Amino acid sequence: MVKNYDALAETIIEKVGGKSNIFQVAHCMTRLRINLKDRGLANMEEIKAIKGVLGAQWAADQLQIIIGPSVEQLYNEMLHMLPNVEAATPIQENLDKAEKKANPFSTAFTFISGCITPTLPVLVGSGLISAILALLTNFHVLSNESSTYVLLNALANAAYSYLPVMVAFAGARRLKTNEYVASFIMLALCSGAISGVADLTFLGIPLTTVKYTSNIVPALLMVPVMSLLDRVVLKVTPEALKSTLRPFLLAIIMFPLTLLVLGPIGTLVGTALANFCVWITSFGGLSMAVLSALHPLLVMVGMHTVITPLIVNEISTVGSSLLFSKALAANLAIGGAALAVGIKAKKAENRQTGISTGVTALLSVTEPALYGCLIRLKKPLISAMIASALTGIFIGIFDIRAYATASCSFLTLPIFMGGPMSNFYLACVAAVLAVILGFAVTWIIGFDED
């Protein structure tokens, strides 16, 4: 485990081309995500060789450096060394140049991922609170009519109810517009006076009934438009009046524009995405086998976050996600495969790496096992994919669903509580099955330590 984060941060900054080459830095649960002005200045081999770095690769035009669960501490150290990177200023010319290099799909994906990723800790916390409450009520430890339950349930529900507000805040910060005005607009839209209310009119114009709570797509559409408007406002507003007129103009223009246009479009898009998730998993065991087998490869190239917005939208819209259950099969199969390497390997280094990263995969995150063990030895990665596919068939047949998001492990199995208790019990069986299959297939196929 890395302890000297400031030294690690300095080394990474040096190897990616220095402070002047960085225009955006963020992190997820295990990866440091850096956007560079000139990607050619990043020395990938030297970055991968840094002590404390588990791996590195490009995802679209973003450099992703795998650190592990301690990535947030490294990120905080880097922010102190890069005081201008996260400054809330108008979009810089260099930022525009860097974004022009990316195709529209990559730009859109990077923006959506950047809006969703900062909210994941809140969603994880909310999911675990909901799961624990479900556990306590199912075993009659706590009544769902008690004040304690009502208060904790309100805390858990707030994460998804006001998720659009957090998404708007993160998106506005990413696009260098005023995040508080963006949140202000979404808070109004999520209020009981507007969200889901029928027969509303604005200046005599009938409004489409839109449920803004838990609906992240209107926020994802609203913020980019607000960012463009903000540039115009900054240019035409007199300097002495900017602090007053800027928030007023942004709010008074974007609020009705979202009510009349962006909100209804967002609802149609969000519903279509939820229906797509239902369709892609409608083939039962076959579809879940393919999705589960592909999950380790998506993690390997950093593209698993492409599906995260779909999963968040599916849970917000439908209330549960079968699509997310692929991570249960893959994560625990990876853990089982790593443990097999740890027990079967002859080299002390491989035994130590396999056992330590295998336990980490079963209890928290899989990147250390994936990069430190499976990919390096190759055959265990194939074994883990086979085990993931077989477990995915079981998940698809029994329609095992997640009711919240968290890194799938034995510690987070309560996220599969929220519907019938049989769903939770089957999720536990799937978790054990994935570990056993990951271990057994790796043991049978074997691996070449050289």
Q: Give the residue numbers marked as catalytic.
A: 28
Structure tokens at 334: 């990876």
CB 123 within 8 A of CB 170: no
CB 404 within 8 A of CB 416: no
Q: Let me know the angle formed at the C-alpha of 5 by 71 and 89, rounded to the nearest 5 degrees.
A: 70
Provide CB contacts within 8 A for 304, sequence distance 6+: 295, 298
Other CB atoms within 10 A of residue 237 CB: 15
CB 337 within 8 A of CB 438: yes
> What is the total residue count of the chain?
450
Three-class secondary structure of residue 62 per DSSP: strand
Q: Which of 307, 288, 308, 328 is nearest to 416 (CA)?
A: 328
Structure tokens at 56: 């590195």
Beta pairing class for 201-202 and 55-59: unpaired
